[in-house]
Structure 1
Amino acid sequence: MKKTSFIMGTILLASINFIVRSLGFVYRIILSRMIGSQAIGLYQMVFPFLMVLIAIPTSGIPIAVSKLVAKENSLNNRRGIYRLLTLTLGLGGAIALFLTVVTSLNIEFIVTKLLKNEDLYYPVLWSIPAISVITFSSILRGFFYGLKDMKPPASAQIIEQLARILFVLAYLYYEKPTHPVTAATIAIIGVTIGEIFGLFYLVLRFNLKRLLEIKTFIPPTDSKIFNVLKEVLYISVPLTISRLLSVFMQTINSILIPQRLEAAGYSAVAAIETFGKITGMAMPLLFLPFTVTTALVLNIIPNISEEIAVNNMKEVSYKSSLAIKITLLIAIPLTGIYVIFGQQLAELIYHEKEVGRYLSLISYATLFLCMQHTLSGILHGMGKQVITTINYLLGMLVQLYCTYYLVPNPKYGINGFFIGFIMSSFLIFILNLITLSKYVKLNLPFMQSILKPTLCSLITFLVMIILYQTLGGYLSSGLTSIVSLGFGGLFYCGLLVITKTLDLNQFINSLRS
């Protein structure tokens, strides 16, 4: 299988993430118009429940596969690669089967006691097949990431999204279901349909003959099986715990924030509206940079693991420093854009000025969020997933403390949540940076990595502000924002090249290596 260079792999995955998210964004708008708010509400109640279920088999195991496949590949151990793949498919399948059985036997309890809506019986029932399909496709994607063959999983993502969208919209268009439960159920079935198409594509790219010849992968008497299983669990368990903590914190926030806002004097309606504007509108915009950092993390884990396996710490240092530099080049200007142009962005997308105020406040965490994400990926590649989980837990405790004690204080109100969010992001970033510095000597010259990108960003902001004010008298507010942002992005890239913050020749060469 052809390897993809680190930079090219990151660009490919970031582009695919952007396409998939854009398709998903458009799909949600069309879906909401076709099935109505009640059906969307039912769908939104089931989808997070499904995400909690699949977090167990898909949070840690695919990353373990990516990391360990890269390790075995660097040692040219093809037998070890297929042993690992077969074992993890079996492990993931066993967990998915267990979750499937437990969910199937407890649907009544789930819909009446947990979700507290009996209309969700069929949507929950039809979400069950997705557990196994998503598990297997996630593990196969991890396999390709480990081989640094980024094209199959990237293509599979687009196939999944397109298959889901086409199935759901075609069914709704021709059948035109009038009952909200039926419409929500079709939307849930679409998730499984999309994943099936993506999985089928990955299996075809993998080579079905190899998959069927399992006896060549794991001899029945192979004593290494337990060692491999131990390695997989050592990597995957902390990552799964970290993911479940994140889901748990989202659940706690959804319950706690409205309650603590009411304690601060907000009405019940105002508290829910405020929470909705932050989590449903401001934060999705805040996490847009993760299109790039997610690509970096998926790419850096197998790359670092491969170099660690052959004890090439010089290359580990180079790739770690490169990943951090890329993150800084993106995160520094985006932090400023959100802070300065947050209100214009929110008004352009949501027609809500208050959302813009929330975005401008919470976006002070953008740089720390991006950095902690990239740093955690590097540490995962080095096998330090236990410490990253501990760092994450400490940060979440800070956020929980601020939400519980600051939000009900009328002096702070919802700003108490923002304080906690920024502080927790900063703490996790600092802890991850300190941890990484203990193991790797980073090459991050202050002038090139921080000062130049910051100065280029400040000049770009000034140009964007002047352009926005100049065009304001001739174009609509929305068009003015689009033109200013688009020109600002091009101007910033130009400044990076002019100031040699970004070396074009080095960048072009890195695409090939």
Structure 2
Amino acid sequence: MSKFLKGTLVLMAATLIVKILGFVNRIVIARLIGEEGVGLYMMVFPSFILVVTLTQMGLPVAISRSVAAAEARGDIAKMKRILAVSLSITLSLSLLFTPALLMMAPYLSKTLFTDPRTYYPLIAITPAIPVIAVSSVLRGYFQGRQNMKPAAYSQVLEQVVRIGLIALFTKQMLPHGIEYAAAGAMAAATCGELISLLYLLLMFRFNKTFLLRRRFFRAIRTGKETAKELFEVALPTTGSRLIGSLGWFFEPIVVTQSLAIAGVTAVVATKQYGVLTGYALPVMFLPSFVTLALSTSLVPAVSEAYAKKQYRLLEHRVQEALRFCLVTGGLSVLLLFLYAEPLMQFMYHSTNGARFIVLMAPFFLFYYYQGPLQAVLQALNLANAAMINSLIGVSVKLAVIFIFASQPQFGIYGAALGMAASILLVTLLHLATVFKKITLTLNVHQYAKFSFVMITSFFISRFLNGLWLDKAGSFTYLAAGAAASALCYFLLSLLLGLITKQDLSRMPLIKRFIK
């Protein structure tokens, strides 16, 4: 097995584990601090992510590329300059933005979030910013050397430490108030990031081929060309992510301000936002790890076919990817729509988020399409178009949230409608952009078959669930019902050709989309 393939498999396995652990982390937080505490947590988190994005400036990707090129030439001095310049940039930015966030915390909490209690979790998470700044540089360095294990293991370690400390910190702080418990959860995240950084530093010490501390400042002074080279890659890369982070930053602000106009108190708004973003959304985002893995494989496959002008092969690969997303995404939507209440009860010991899942699940079929379409746009050198589509989607989302959430008859459901509208719009814009660039046939028969499978599976599932609904406990009903629905969906998809025999023989191998 090649070094590249081995590293990719390690990183993909770690990504899946991290996603699962991250989901467990959210369940633990929800059970310990409840809807109101989760609301405080989720209001603060987008601000933190925005500052982290500004601090990183897309440098991890640029570092990875530059280190790989320097190692291929055996240029150790260049690798040292890359690390020195990257660390100086990210640390300088973190020393600028960290105090800025601390100074803005009172204004953000009292005025923009309309809930002064968000001040404490915001203060608790801020110290993680410089820690993540250094960690991102080291991860980029290791990935550039095609050594994926330190970066992968550090992410797993960070999640494990966070989950372990959340229970300890929140239980200690809960008697002092829900805001202190939320701050305890944020402090656990900060500790997890710190342990992750210590592990990366230890691995760097064992694996380095040079002494970074020797002539460190001289490497910075002579690194102007290196900095220019890094930013040429970093700035375009960070565009879409920055737009997403800005949209996420403004989201809780627009939601809370809109709900205040609708007459909802700050405490109730915090609780409702916590149910939507901390309970319902993570459940709907979880199945996307399948399309994420597919997107990773799709970029080089589409790039290769497009470069060789093999347009029939290109269309085949894109159609196969979209069919796979349609089938897997359809099953996810069916199960989420049918079993929202028992699923939420099983995970969170509360069914409050089920209403949002029922409302938004059909729109998430388009979200599962979004990843592969974004990958196709990147492969076709249309990253700028994808960024513009994302900007339009963010703007529409915030506008719809403000219009509907400020109306008493909609309230927090206006926020859910805004998110759903954004998902639908961005996916359609991505699809339209792809249609403009390449010839892509719209397979009407395939979508007709899919609609028949979804509708038939839904009614069969409802009929079967009615037979044992009163005869089983919540978990038994969930397990039996979900298994029956999935089996029905699978058999109908196989019968109508949405799933082929070739799919069954190759399903364990994601590489089937690039053959």
TM-score tier (shorter): 0.7 to 0.9
Kindly indicate whether residue 471 of structure 2 is the aligned counterpart of residue 479 of structure 1: no
> Deviations for 1:59-85, whole angstroms, at most 9, x for unmatched residues?
74445556x469959x95675994666
| Aligned pairs (5 A) from 1:206-217 | 208-210=207-209, 212=211
CA distance 1:97–1:407, shift in 2 (3 Å): closer
Kindly indicate whether residue 239 of structure 2 is the aligned counterpart of residue 242 of structure 1: no
Is the 2:109–2:115 Cα contact (8 Å) retained in structure 1? yes
Q: Distance in 1 between matches of 2:431 and 2:256?
A: 30
Note the C-alpha offset of 1:194: 0.9
> Which residue of structure 1 lines up, in the alignment, with residue 506 of structure 2?
506
Secondary structure of 1:240's aligned partner:
helix
Note the C-alpha offset of 1:99: 1.4
> Which residue of structure 2 lines up, in the alignment, with residue 489 of structure 1?
486
- What amino acid sits opposite 2:154 in the alignment? A
Is the 1:23–1:161 Cα contact (8 Å) retained in structure 2? no
Note the C-alpha offset of 1:140: 4.3
CA distance 1:138–1:290, shift in 2 (3 Å): farther
> Which residue of structure 1 lines up, in the alignment, with residue 228 of structure 2?
226
- What amino acid sits opposite 1:474 in the alignment? K
CA distance 1:5–1:371, shift in 2 (3 Å): farther
Q: Distance in 2 between matches of 1:348 and 1:172?
A: 22
- What amino acid sits opposite 2:386 in the alignment? T
Is the 2:105–2:123 Cα contact (8 Å) retained in structure 1? yes
CA distance 1:255–1:132, shift in 2 (3 Å): same
CA distance 1:86–1:288, shift in 2 (3 Å): same
Note the C-alpha offset of 1:108: 6.5
Secondary structure of 2:3's aligned partner:
coil
Q: Distance in 2 between matches of 1:411 and 1:119?
A: 27
> Which residue of structure 2 lines up, in the alignment, with residue 465 of structure 1?
462
Q: Which runs of 5+ in 1 are unaligned?
A: none
- What amino acid sits opposite 2:284 in the alignment? L
Secondary structure of 2:222's aligned partner:
coil
Kindly indicate whether residue 190 of structure 2 is the aligned counterpart of residue 192 of structure 1: yes
Q: Distance in 2 between matches of 1:458 and 1:419?
A: 23
> Which residue of structure 2 lines up, in the alignment, with residue 136 of structure 1?
134
The range that moved more, 418-427 or 37-46, is 37-46
Q: Distance in 2 between matches of 1:40 and 1:400?
A: 21
> Which residue of structure 2 lines up, in the alignment, with residue 252 of structure 1?
254
- What amino acid sits opposite 1:28 in the alignment? I
| Aligned pairs (5 A) from 1:76-91 | 82=79, 87-91=85-89
CA distance 1:332–1:5, shift in 2 (3 Å): farther
**Matching residue within 355, 361, 372 for 2:359:** 361
> Which residue of structure 1 lines up, in the alignment, with residue 20 of structure 2?
19
Is the 1:59–1:243 Cα contact (8 Å) retained in structure 2? no
Q: Distance in 1 between matches of 2:68 and 2:445?
A: 35
Is the 2:32–2:170 Cα contact (8 Å) retained in structure 1? no
The range that moved more, 82-91 or 48-57, is 82-91
Note the C-alpha offset of 1:461: 3.5
CA distance 1:313–1:484, shift in 2 (3 Å): farther
Note the C-alpha offset of 1:160: 0.6
> Which residue of structure 1 lines up, in the alignment, with residue 49 of structure 2?
51
> Deviations for 1:66-113, whole angstroms, at most 9, x for unmatched residues?
6x469959x956759946666544433332222134345666666776
> Which residue of structure 1 lines up, in the alignment, with residue 396 of structure 2?
398
Note the C-alpha offset of 1:427: 1.8
The range that moved more, 238-247 or 499-508, is 499-508
- What amino acid sits opposite 1:503 in the alignment? D
Note the C-alpha offset of 1:323: 4.5
Q: Distance in 2 between matches of 1:274 and 1:123?
A: 18
Note the C-alpha offset of 1:446: 6.0
Secondary structure of 2:251's aligned partner:
helix
- What amino acid sits opposite 2:506 in the alignment? Q
Q: Distance in 1 between matches of 2:208 and 2:139?
A: 18
CA distance 1:45–1:11, shift in 2 (3 Å): closer
> Deviations for 1:18-62, whole angstroms, at most 9, x for unmatched residues?
4213420343145438xxx88777656654543332232347444
Kindly indicate whether residue 387 of structure 2 is the aligned counterpart of residue 389 of structure 1: yes
Secondary structure of 2:197's aligned partner:
helix
Note the C-alpha offset of 1:468: 1.8
> Which residue of structure 1 lines up, in the alignment, with residue 91 of structure 2?
93
CA distance 1:339–1:92, shift in 2 (3 Å): same
Q: Distance in 2 between matches of 1:452 and 1:69?
A: 47
Q: Distance in 1 between matches of 2:323 and 2:279?
A: 29
Over the residues paired in the alignment, what is the CA RMSD in angstroms? 4.8
Q: Distance in 2 between matches of 1:109 and 1:267?
A: 18
Percent sequence identity is 25
> Deviations for 1:472-492, whole angstroms, at most 9, x for unmatched residues?
242124421222113433554
Is the 2:400–2:415 Cα contact (8 Å) retained in structure 1? yes
> Deviations for 1:333-368, whole angstroms, at most 9, x for unmatched residues?
222333444455455556766743432222221112
TM norm structure 2: 0.75
- What amino acid sits opposite 1:24 in the alignment? N
Is the 1:10–1:296 Cα contact (8 Å) retained in structure 2? no
Note the C-alpha offset of 1:284: 3.3
Q: Distance in 2 between matches of 1:304 and 1:222?
A: 35
Secondary structure of 1:489's aligned partner:
helix
CA distance 1:17–1:374, shift in 2 (3 Å): farther
Is the 1:335–1:364 Cα contact (8 Å) retained in structure 2? yes
Is the 2:114–2:256 Cα contact (8 Å) retained in structure 1? no
> Deviations for 1:373-400, whole angstroms, at most 9, x for unmatched residues?
3322443455533322221222233334
Note the C-alpha offset of 1:509: 5.3
Is the 1:407–1:413 Cα contact (8 Å) retained in structure 2? yes
Q: Distance in 1 between matches of 2:253 and 2:448?
A: 39
Note the C-alpha offset of 1:410: 7.4
- What amino acid sits opposite 1:231 in the alignment? V
Secondary structure of 2:4's aligned partner:
coil
The range that moved more, 200-209 or 431-440, is 200-209
CA distance 1:300–1:55, shift in 2 (3 Å): farther
TM norm structure 1: 0.76
Q: Distance in 1 between matches of 2:210 and 2:314?
A: 32
Secondary structure of 1:4's aligned partner:
helix
CA distance 1:352–1:387, shift in 2 (3 Å): same
Is the 1:343–1:353 Cα contact (8 Å) retained in structure 2? yes
CA distance 1:90–1:7, shift in 2 (3 Å): closer
Secondary structure of 1:503's aligned partner:
helix
CA distance 1:304–1:89, shift in 2 (3 Å): farther
